[in-house]
Amino acid sequence: RVWNFSAGPAALPEEVLRQAAEEMLDWHGAGMGVMEMSHRGKEFMSIAEAAEADLRELLAVPASYRILFMQGGAIAENAIIPMNLLGDRKVADYVVTGSWSQKSQKEARRYAGVNIAATSEAGGFTSVPAMRDWQLSDDPAYVFTCTNETIGGVEYPFEPDLAQIGRAEVPVVADMSSHILSRVIDVSKYGLIFGGAQKNIGPAGLTICIVREDLLGRAMPLCPSAFDYKTVAEAGSMYNTPPTYAIYIAGLVFQWLKRQGGVAAMEARNIAKARLLYDYLDGSGFYENRVDPACRSRMNVPFFLKDESLNDAFLSGAKDAGLVQLKGHKSVGGMRASIYNAMPIEGVAALVDYMKAFAARHG
Ligand code: PLP
């Protein structure tokens, strides 16, 4: 297998894929594979319950939060969130730190008044505005954040804890699609955490929502029932047929994470991986990362060759060396290495070795 730096869908732990392959035709003696099981049968119910319990344990999700397995991805959540959380308020606040939160606030305008509480647009989305500079509206339904901007490679270096600015009553919503389970978080600081699974968790098609119970039951009448958090919670994420195979793989990933020592152990590895790559970038003179060092993502590392005419040669040489999906997002250009939980430090070291050799040949 190659070292796969895709931003998502992304590399999964090899152990998980091997186990899934072994169980493909016959899951635990059921005589059938997970894809073929009824979502209401006892076999699949046990898979879904274990996945939920393991996720709850990994993130220390308090009992007052519900974990929902949904569909539609994070982009659908951009509409589902205002439909569920606006309630009788008029406005939701958005902190815009890159392409994904920008997209979120645009979509929310279809359902809610939107106040941009803070934005790092003037600096080209290379940092996260400090909380003391957030201009919250008087009575927002929530404050939306994207705590890791996958395209820009910008990650919050702090948890958006509104108590620090005297606004603890406002629920924080966080799109954690691309760094959930990569670092320890305090779930109690959020009203809603959500993310698509296809980066740090499992296959595309599954959306994870962790929602504080008191926020259920506020959906607009026009909200589709299948996207009403209360309906989904009451049905144990089985109001409609859930993405069963994606939940099963996510469950295997959660078990794998527990065997790795859990989220704190993963965070330590992620710090070491990111440091290896950023330290090399900063010292090289040949490559550069343009994000404020305090806000650099541990998961998504965009970088540029100072001589961009070498981009194609860099990518084709990388492919020959077994390093793939390094091309940067089209809106940013350059390169991007996504180094999620499933990427071992050996993969990052292989990338750095290749980058050194390429720089030596062309520098
Ligand atoms: N938000 C973030 C932070 C992302 O990285 C992505 C990536 O795809 C999305 C939202 C969109 O998710 P989806 O394509 O699952 O709707």
Domain boundaries, the chain: 3-11+262-362, 30-259
**pLDDT one digit per residue (tens) for the chain, 363 residues:** 999 999 999 999 999 999 999 999 999 999 999 999 999 999 999 999 999 999 999 999 999 999 999 999 999 999 999 999 999 999 999 999 999 999 999 999 999 999 999 999 999 999 999 999 999 999 999 999 999 999 999 999 999 999 999 999 999 999 999 999 999 999 999 999 999 999 999 999 999 999 999 999 999 999 999 999 999 999 999 999 999 999 999 999 999 999 999 999 999 999 999 999 999 999 999 999 999 999 999 999 999 999 999 999 999 999 999 999 999 999 999 999 999 999 999 999 999 999 999 999 998
User: Token digits for 254?
Assistant: 């959660």
Q: Probe ligand 1: pick from 6, 70, 75, max atoms within 8 Å of CB?
A: 75
Report yes or no: 185 and 133 within 8 Å, Cβ to Cβ.
no
CATH 3.40.720.10 assigned to domain 30-259? The reply is: no
Q: How far is CA 81 from the centre of its chain?
A: 16
User: Ligand 1 centre from 180 Cα, in Å?
Assistant: 12
User: Token digits for 295?
Assistant: 């806000």
Which residue type sits at 251? G
What's the chain's length in residues?
363
78 a known binding residue?
no
- The residue whose CA is least distant from atom 9 of ligand 1 is 74
User: Class of the 3-11+262-362 domain?
Assistant: alpha beta
User: Ligand 1 centre from 100 Cα, in Å?
Assistant: 7
User: Ligand 1 centre from 46 Cα, in Å?
Assistant: 28
Q: Cα–Cα distance between 349 and 361 in angstroms, integer? A: 18
Pairing mode of beta strands 65-70, 207-212? antiparallel
- Write a three-state SS string for 324-339: ECCECCCCCCCEEEEC
User: Ligand 1 centre from 198 Cα, in Å?
Assistant: 9
> Residue 12: how many CA atoms within 13 Å on its side-chain side?
22
97 a known binding residue?
no
Report yes or no: 273 and 348 within 8 Å, Cβ to Cβ.
yes
ipTM tops 0.90:
yes
Atom of ligand 1 nearest to the CA of 72: 16
CB-based contacts of 190-198 (< 8 A; 24+ apart in sequence): 190/160, 191/85, 191/142, 191/215, 192/81, 192/85, 192/142, 194/74, 194/77, 194/81, 195/74, 196/8, 196/73, 196/74, 197/246, 197/250, 198/8, 198/9, 198/10
Q: Cα–Cα distance between 178 and 151 in angstroms, integer? A: 10
Q: What is the DSSP track for 216-267?
A: TT---TTS-GGG-HHHHHHTTT-SS---HHHHHHHHHHHHHHHHTTHHHHHH
71 a known binding residue?
no
175 a known binding residue?
yes
- Measuring from each residue's beta carbon to the nearest atom of ligand 1, which residues come in under 6 Å? 8, 73-75, 100, 146, 150, 175, 177-178, 196
3-class SS at 343? coil
